[in-house]
A = this chain, B = another copy of it.
Amino acid sequence: MPQRITYTNQVGAALDRMLASTDCTSLFVIADTNTSRQVLPRLHSVRLRQATPIVIPAGEESKGINTLADVWQTLSDSGATRRSVVINVGGGMVTDLGGMAAATFKRGIRFVNVPTTLLSAVDAAVGGKTGINFNGLKNEIGAFAPACEVIISTCFFDTLARQELRSGYAEMVKHAMLNGAQAFADVMNYEPDGDEPNHLLQLLEASVAVKQRIVEQDPTEQGLRRALNLGHTVGHALESLSLQHGRPVPHGYAVAWGLVTEAVLSHMLLQFPSTDLHRLATFVRQHYGTPGITCDDYPTLLHLMHHDKKSRQGEVNCTLLCQLGNPVLDNVIAPDDMHTALDITRDYLD
């Protein structure tokens, strides 16, 4: 079933319209301490004012079993039924955890995602992945459960730091590369720090459609969905390395750098055109700077890539492109090729 997505900057009105046509016994809204203060008062939804609020502490540390149990407890104590509806208002932490709580309460009640960050709009809120962190591992526990509706807007992005916007924009670059030449040109021509919410909303609609098309064909990640991993094998390793060095970088920055390395590999192994590679690398250097690694970091990076949860049995596995819009899954990368690709990435970005 295709996920219903509404693109609008009149979020409150869209929520009211949607809820008016929904058979629902009671309504809950999950927000974190930030979105509860900054976004909920701006929603202007008549129906949301009657909802029971469930406010959870902001921050990735909250995305665990204790907060999940707190949400279950409130739903249970408030007499939520199988026909109640949960509205998740927030970034990826809120939509992942709130989605997981709804997906497992009484074996699943409906939930609506209202992403308030670019990263959650373009990625977490769409596609049916919910989850919590457990045992120190991201999304170790979770469920595949699509929101019954996602309302995507750009009007709350003024609450985001510039760095957060750029971080989310990296996933839009990835989607454009999976989509094709025109989408790639559109995304390269936009200024990610620009403050034109309606132009960004248009780009976002095209971007989310890429993910949606892939997820519909492979909801539980058996095959094609791994295309969405483009940039992430190298990106996750750079993100983990930055954590180990005590200088954490935002997820999207690591993904942007990973996209460059994987485009280099695509060029080396699959003849991905060098003009597109140059354009990408120039854009990434301009907006995301450099990962600041040296060749001393390569062994650690390769070790991290071997242990990526999407790798199989110790091989380094990447999604690559033979050209824009043409992903090739499951490329096993030899260590020498990865070293070369990292060298070229540093040449581009340093």
Contacts from A to B (Cβ < 8 Å): 25, 65, 69, 72-73, 76-77, 81-82, 103-108, 129-131, 134-135, 137, 139-144, 220, 309, 313
Contacts and interface: CB of A to CB of B under 8 A. Distances in A.
Contact of A103 (B139, B143, B309): B143
A109 to B, nearest CB: 11
A104 B309 CA distance: 16
A76 B140 contact: yes
Contacts of A72: 134-135, 140-141
Given A65-B69, A69-B65, A143 B76 contact: no
A144 B107 contact: yes
A210 to B, nearest CB: 21
Contacts of A73: 135
B144 A129 contact: no
Contacts of A69: 65
Q: How many copies does the complex hold?
A: 2
Nearest to A144: B107
Nearest to A137: B76
A141 B134 CA distance: 18
Chain A interface, >50% SS class = mixed
Given A82-B309, A106-B309, A107-B130, 19 more contacts: A25-B313, A65-B69, A72-B134, A72-B140, A72-B141, A76-B135, A81-B309, A103-B143, A104-B141, A105-B141, A106-B140, A106-B141, A106-B142, A107-B129, A107-B131, A107-B139, A107-B144, A107-B220, A143-B143
A130 B73 CA distance: 19
Contact of A143 (B81, B104, B135, B220): B104
Contact of A134 (B25, B76, B142, B309): B76
A24 to B, nearest CB: 13
A143 B65 contact: no
A108 B144 contact: yes
A52 to B, nearest CB: 16
A220 B108 contact: yes
Contacts of A137: 76
A309 B130 CA distance: 26
24 contacts: A25-B313, A65-B69, A72-B134, A72-B135, A72-B140, A73-B135, A76-B137, A82-B309, A103-B143, A104-B104, A104-B141, A104-B142, A104-B143, A106-B139, A106-B309, A107-B129, A107-B130, A107-B131, A107-B142, A107-B143, A107-B144, A107-B220, A108-B144, A143-B143
Contacts of A129: 107
Contacts of A25: 313
Nearest to A129: B107
